[in-house]
Structure 1
Amino acid sequence: MLQDMKRYLEVVANIMQENKDTLIEMDQIVGDGDLGLTMSDGFRAAYLAVKDTDEQDLGKLVYAGGKAMASAVPSTMGTLMASGLMQAGKDLRNQNELTNENWVQFFDSFEAGVINRGKANVGEKTFIDGIDPAVQVLKENIELPLAQLASKASKAARQGYEQTATMIAKHGRAATRGEASRDLLDPGAYVAVLLFEAFEISVKG
């Protein structure tokens, strides 16, 4: 049911709001400190854009959320997340239910959209290092019951995020620190953790 995607986006919006201060504090160390506001405002805009729609095409629904986010938070990270949603929307056109396969497609396409816009790769201390391990787990365990699948993906995202404390930043303001960036956890990867925590929460009902 497409209501499940609306539910997911609502939980994402709520969890980003709950973690706004944490994201701000993390981003103040390696960036300009606006990540918490960007994520809370952006995902709230995405949710509100689809909350009351009668749209029955999953792809069009997700794309509308991404487009709203792009307008609401046109910053670097806002644009990346909006690009993820819009790519997922394109790839899920003409789908009208949320099977395991379509959930996996959603996150796989989300990652692809962010990579295409941001040009970051695994191992470069970004959002990708949080989302990619989770996407790989989703693909490898697609036959599991959805709640178990979401739980495994959430754990993988957190492990990926924790691994960023071993990486040298290649992008953004953190990259100017060079070797000194290695010990820091990446706030972008933490956003991926929150996306998968929201997934786990939303599919439990």
Structure 2
Amino acid sequence: MAFTTENLRTSIVRIKDRIGPIGDEMNALDGRLGDGDLGVTLVNGFRNMSEATEAMPEDLGMALFHAAKAMTAVSGSSFGTLMATALMAAGKNVKGQKEVEWVEVAQLLQSAQDAMIARGGAKLGDKTVLDSLAAIIAEVRDEDSPDALLNKAASAAREARDSFKDKPNKIGRARVYADKSIGLEDPGMAAIVRLLEALHP
């Protein structure tokens, strides 16, 4: 068993079907530290990616490019841009391949994280989605079971979100709130938790 375009399609549709309450929650959370549009970005982005799934080719890299293009088409937000950047980076790594072993997912996430750092200018420790990815990568490295990988990723994301809650945001609009951001979940980190939870059957 390996990760294929069909897995990508299924994941996108599953999240799209469950994104409504998540979107409302993320809008409220983001409104305390930013523009309050994170939920809108997620809802519109996954709806658009879902509509693009039927046209996704079996080439996994190209399928990820399709997903990135669909996200970019509906979102001008920083989170949407970073998601598209991550999908593009992962796609470049597997272009021409129809499947990727689950044990290689950590490597794809690493390439996505590297691209997001280069694009967004944030660094590890700034209390952003990058810290969630770092925790997930460390936890799922060498994991070859999709179910265990998802469970470990969700657990790592929750731990990262909680461990940074009492730290200040150091970049983006949330940065202007400085110490007021202490005690609040970072919206992007919270979103990663909810999206991973939504992937459970």
The normalised TM-score by structure 2 is 0.90
Q: Is 1:25 paired with 2:31?
A: no
Q: Which runs of 5+ in 1 are unaligned?
A: none
Match of 2:111 in 1: 109
Match of 1:90 in 2: 92
Instruction: For 2:34 and 2:146, locate their aligned partners in 1 and report how far apart those are by CA, in whole Å.
Output: 35
Q: CA deviation at 1:197?
A: 2.2
How many pairs are equivalent?
A: 198
2:68 to 62, 66, 69: 66
Q: Is the 8 A contact 1:12 1:194 kept in 2?
A: no
Q: Which runs of 5+ in 2 are unaligned?
A: none
Tell me which moved more, 119-128 or 26-35. 119-128
Instruction: For 1:44 and 1:111, locate their aligned partners in 2 and report how far apart those are by CA, in whole Å.
Output: 24
2:132 to 130, 133, 149: 130
Instruction: For 2:103 and 2:193, locate their aligned partners in 1 and report how far apart those are by CA, in whole Å.
Output: 21
RMSD: 1.8
**Change beyond 3 A, Cα 1:111–1:11:** farther
Instruction: For 2:196 and 2:136, locate their aligned partners in 1 and report how far apart those are by CA, in whole Å.
Output: 8
Q: Is the 8 A contact 1:15 1:194 kept in 2?
A: no
Instruction: For 2:61 and 2:107, locate their aligned partners in 1 and report how far apart those are by CA, in whole Å.
Output: 11
Q: Is the 8 A contact 1:27 1:187 kept in 2?
A: yes
Match of 1:165 in 2: 165
Instruction: For 1:80 and 1:48, locate their aligned partners in 2 and report how far apart those are by CA, in whole Å.
Output: 20
TM alignment of 1:159-198, pairs within 5 A? 159-198=159-198
Q: Is the 8 A contact 1:130 1:190 kept in 2?
A: no
Cα deviation digits, residues 67-100 of structure 1 (max 9, x gap): 1111111222211111111111111112111421
The normalised TM-score by structure 1 is 0.88
